[in-house]
Amino acid sequence: MTIRIYGNRAIQTLPGDATRPTSSKVREALFNIWQGRVLGAKWLDLCAGSGAMGAEALCRGAAEVVGIEKSAAACQVIAKNWQKVAKPEQTYRVVRGDVVRQIKRLAAFDLIYFDPPYAGGLYPSVLAQLVNCLTAGGEAAVEYGGGHWTPEQVPEAVSTKLKVVREKRYGSTNLVFFQRQL
């Protein structure tokens, strides 16, 4: 299966329901919100799935894109998709593994997109690590839906370091934007 991203470029996705690509409506809205921040940014795509968000970031001029994905098959698709859209001066890397373990090894990203399996229970553990991965003033967009998690469930230790700066709803999909406090 294929989906279209920025510039009408086609990228591959895995067949079936193993990954859930972010809808084109949500992708477009996110990049409209972050339009002045993507160029030259360091981007982290958590639970990267098909890699559509990272591919969009590359197409829009991110300097570096890193994705974490548990599925080996998805990692292969992501690497092919990013290779297809990256310019020679851009860098990208796909990390296979558990997002909670792998995120602890990373730091200094300007923009982070986190779209986990909604019922996977990853929100508390990953949000606790976002503080260490964001640059000062950096932002993270967290996708949620289905009633499995809400921003009100952010642990207090995290909420003192990450401030909710906006919330958006697109049908049954929600985005909450956190900014690391300076």
pLDDT score of 1: 58
Give yes or no for a contact between 149 and 101, defined as CB atoms under 8 angstroms apart: no
In the chain, the domains with their CATH numbers are 2-180 (3.40.50.150)
pLDDT score of 8: 64
pLDDT score of 16: 64
pLDDT score of 159: 77
Task: Determine if the pTM surpasses 0.85.
Answer: yes
Question: Could you tell me the CA-to-CA distances from 154 to 12, 99, 138, 144 in Å, in that order?
Answer: 34, 18, 18, 13
pLDDT score of 2: 62
Give yes or no for a contact between 36 and 64, defined as CB atoms under 8 angstroms apart: no
CA distance 48 to 80: 13
Residue with tokens 């976002």: 130
CA distance 13 to 76: 10
pLDDT score of 74: 93
DSSP assignment of 34-81: TTTTSTT-EEEEET-TT-HHHHHHHHTT-SEEEEEES-HHHHHHHHHH
Ranges under pLDDT 50 in the chain: none
